[in-house]
Amino acid sequence: MKHILTCILLLAAFCSFAEPKTKAKVSSTKADSVWTRRNYTKQELYIPMRDGKQLYTAIYSPKNSKGLHPILICRTPYSIAPYGKDSFKNFWNYYWMDYLKAGYIMVLQDVRGRYMSEGDFVDIRPYNPDKKEGAIDESTDAYDTIDWLVNNVKNNNGNVGVFGVSYPGFYSTMAALCGHPNLKAVSPQAPVTDWFSGDDFHHNGAFFIMDGFSFYSGFGKPRPEPTRHGVKGFEHYGTKDNYKFYLETGSLRNFRKLMGDSIAFWKDLYTHPDYDKWWYKRNPRNFVDHIVPGTATLVVGGLFDAEDCYGAWNLYKAIEKDAKNNNRLVMGPWSHGAWAKTTGEYLGNIRFGSKTAEYYQKHIEEPFFRYHLENKGDITDIKEANIFFTGANEWHTFDKWPPEEKKNRSFYLQPNNGLSLVIPEMENSSDKYISDPANPVPYAEGVHWDRTREYMDDDQRFAARRPDVLVYKSGPLTDDLTIGGPVIADLFVSLSTTDADFIVKLIDVFPDDFSYDDKKDGAGNGKDYPMGGYQMLVRAEVMRGRYRNSLSDPEAFKPGEVTEVKYTMPDVAHVFRKGHRIMVQVQSSWFPLVDRNPQQFLNIYRAYDDDFIKSTIKVYHEATNASRIILPTLSPVNVMSK
């Protein structure tokens, strides 16, 4: 999603690369560019589908006719440009060059209804488990593409792989469902799965307005005829301050007016405010039992992926539960698609001590495809779960995820801003704040236009200083504390209104004298940033309060009545180091990342500007109503000083 989102064209990740910046890189890529043109040919052609429509496809084939070559496919809605048989994709700028050097046949395809392909485009087109003759979905398009390629491309070895990041990750998952006997390996990376529960445009029913509006105002525009050209999104913002624009625009009614009537998916969002059958059918995780045992899967994601962190963790878990194939998981310290586009040495102010993306490429992804597509090599070192733990900055492997040794431990909110393993003894104990939709808590410090990637591990001191953010902090840790698995927020609250959002943040507070060692901690960003006392966001998630018991059947709060709000946040893999503190922040807005809740029980998509009201919110920390955060610990937890 790039531009706050054209920022979502970060969603294009694997099929849209930036140019190199350093002189050394330019020199090496020029040589690789010459090598590619000398050793590869490019075809552009239409591949017929079973319903008569044709999908525009670019095929890059090695000129070397000796031996047989595997096929690796990326299907994308973001264009396979540059078009023209003499215009080559800039593979040489990135690690895809390794696949060319190994002689792979690389295939890029515009999916149905996008750019040069025929047919009608449907967002996250539902999987059809009961196909009749001529029926199509994205899995049949993948099947027909694979079938045509293995039967028509010269010198292929009959082994096919599919991969892609974000939306192409969705198409990778759908390819895995196709059951073609020649499909040997699929890697859905940052895969779109559930656009209501946790990916991209909704988290627990809360609408991610900034990403959604910026992305769909361009991406969602209809394309009547095949074209090589993209379209522009909304351009009349009038400011470079996203907080100002989204606040002053107001209710979702007003955003619908700005969007207009031509964008089908935007209208669908307004028509399906709750989780229903329409959303269920568009979640590929519900159909992974159709993956055949002969198709290996490698699910890849980033611990700090602002778009599809939820999708990676939960697609892996769904395949483990419902399919019988060889399935593996990789999670690194990355933002959206960063394993394909950066060195992975840092994100924002946080350093990871090594080139984590290069490690993934050389030691996990490339061996995975080599083994399954070339019948070469050994993948015994690629375990069931391959997880990078931030804090310690180390890769660890597990036989399952979450790990067998995981134990859930409760850290209770305490009076006087404390956080402890002990259940509070007091009664009638709570903290309160006023949530004001006219002055929502910003998701990041400073003035931005693009939605930042770095907010996922940003310093939270700016939020801790606001009166509408509650802060709870442990004493310094007397030993390292390792956590790995899903985090659970369990709050007992009361409201003066009938609805509110709840955002819970898990934070690692660095010692006041902390600073990075450039030799030990590796490359970083912003060397002058004050890291002493840094409040590193480890995980945060929103729950739209009305959905606390069901995403399908929203419930109003009864004003003044103590109510439990309990929900699961995406998994974490982090080590709180000795001397650090654990912090929890609680708030009711996260703007303009998340749309504002009117704090009344009404259809938010139809709310008017004057429907937004203040709410007084209490969070309880008492013996009978003990609010807590439940951490998946992998080490002893009696490690906090007072």
The answer to whether residues 301 and 308 touch, using CB atoms and an 8 Å cutoff, is yes
**Does residue 277 have a pLDDT over 50?**
yes
Alpha carbon of 591 to those of 20, 210, 498: distances in Å? 33, 9, 20
Q: Which residues of 174-193 are buried (b: 16+ CB within 10 A; e: fewer)?
A: bbbbbebebbbbbbbbbbbb
Alpha carbon separation from 210 to 144, 242, 327, 354 (Å, rounded): 37, 8, 34, 32
Q: Are residues 41 and 92 in the same domain?
A: yes
For the chain, the average pLDDT equals: 94
pLDDT value for 24: 55
Residues 537, 443: contact at Cβ < 8 Å? Answer: no
Q: What is the mean pLDDT of residues 135-150?
A: 98
Packing angle between helix 138-152 and helix 167-176, nearest 10 degrees?
Answer: 70
Boundary-marking domain end, from 349, 374, 398: 398
Answer whether residue 530 is part of any domain: yes
The residue segments making up the domain with residue 159 are 8-193+283-398
Quick one: pLDDT at residue 23?
54
- Does 212 map to a domain? no
Determine the average pLDDT of the residues in 240-269: 96
- The structural domain count of the chain equals 2
Q: Are residues 186 and 44 in the same domain?
A: yes
Q: What percent of the chain has pLDDT over 90?
A: 90
Could you tell me if residue 202 is inside a domain? no
* 204 Rama class: left (phi>0) / alpha (psi -120 to 50) / beta: left
SS3 at position 244: helix
**What pLDDT digit, counting tens, does each position of 189-220 carry?**
999 999 999 999 999 999 999 999 999 999 99
In a domain, 275, yes or no: no
Cα–Cα dist 489/503, whole Å = 9
Residues 453 and 379 in one domain: no
pLDDT value of residue 584: 98
The region of weakest confidence among 231-240, 249-258, 321-330 is: 231-240
Q: Give the model's pLDDT for residue 587.
A: 98
Closest CA to 535 of 409, 411, 350, 394: 350
**Cα separations in angstroms, 313 against 189, 190, 199, 330:** 10, 9, 11, 9
Banded model confidence at residue 569, pLDDT cuts 50, 70, 90:
very high
DSSP state of 445: S
Confidence of residue 10 (pLDDT cuts 50, 70, 90): very low
Residues 423 and 290 in one domain: no
Q: Of 78, 53, 112, which Cα lies nearest the Cα of 228? A: 78
Same structural domain, 108 and 161 = yes
Quick one: 569 and 548 in the same domain? yes
Tell me the β-bridge partners of 73. 107, 162
What does pTM read for this prediction?
A: 0.95
Q: What type of residue is 248?
A: E
Specify the length of the chain in residues: 642
pLDDT at 579 over 90: yes
Residue 131 has pLDDT above 50, yes or no: yes
Q: Which residue has the higher pLDDT, 533 or 16?
A: 533
Residue 213 placed within a domain:
no
* 21 vs 237 pLDDT, higher one: 237
Q: Examine the fold and report which residue of 371, 398, 425 is the final residue of a domain before the chain moves on.
A: 398
Same domain for 626 and 501, yes or no, is yes
What Cα–Cα distance (Å) separates residue 308 from each residue in 29, 79, 336? 30, 21, 7
- Given 377, 398, 419, which residue is the final one in a domain? 398
Look at residue 638 and tell me if it is in a domain: no
Q: Are 183 and 174 in contact (CB under 8 A)?
A: no
Do 431 and 288 share a structural domain?
no
How much is the pLDDT for 519? 85
pLDDT class of 9 with cuts at 50, 70, 90: very low
- pLDDT tens, position by position, 390-413: 999 999 999 999 999 999 999 999
**Taking 60 as the threshold, does the pLDDT of residue 11 lie above it?**
no
Q: CA-CA distance, 505 to 539, in Å (whole number)? A: 6
CATH number of the structural domain spanning residue 325: 3.40.50.1820
Residues 433 and 354 in one domain: no
Q: Is the pLDDT of residue 638 over 80?
A: no
Return d(Cα 497, Cα 563) in angstroms, integer: 13
pLDDT (tens digit per residue) in 338-372: 999 999 999 999 999 999 999 999 999 999 999 99
- 262 occurs within a structural domain: no
Q: 75 with 171: CB under 8 angstroms? A: yes
Evaluate whether 210 touches 306 at the Cβ level (below 8 Å): no
Which CATH number belongs to the domain containing residue 596 in this structure? 2.60.120.260
In order, the DSSP letters of 10-41 are: GGGGGG--PPP-SHHHHHHHHHHHHHHHHHEE
Same structural domain, 21 and 145: yes
Asked if residue 310 and residue 377 are part of one domain, the reply reads: yes
Q: Do the domain assignments include residue 157?
A: yes
Looking at the structure, tell me whether residues 543 and 607 fall in a common domain: yes
Q: How high is the pLDDT of residue 613?
A: 98
Per-residue pLDDT tens over the stretch 509-566: 999 999 999 888 887 876 789 999 999 999 999 999 999 999 999 999 999 999 999 9
562's CB contacts (< 8 A; 6+ apart) are 492, 493, 494, 620, 625
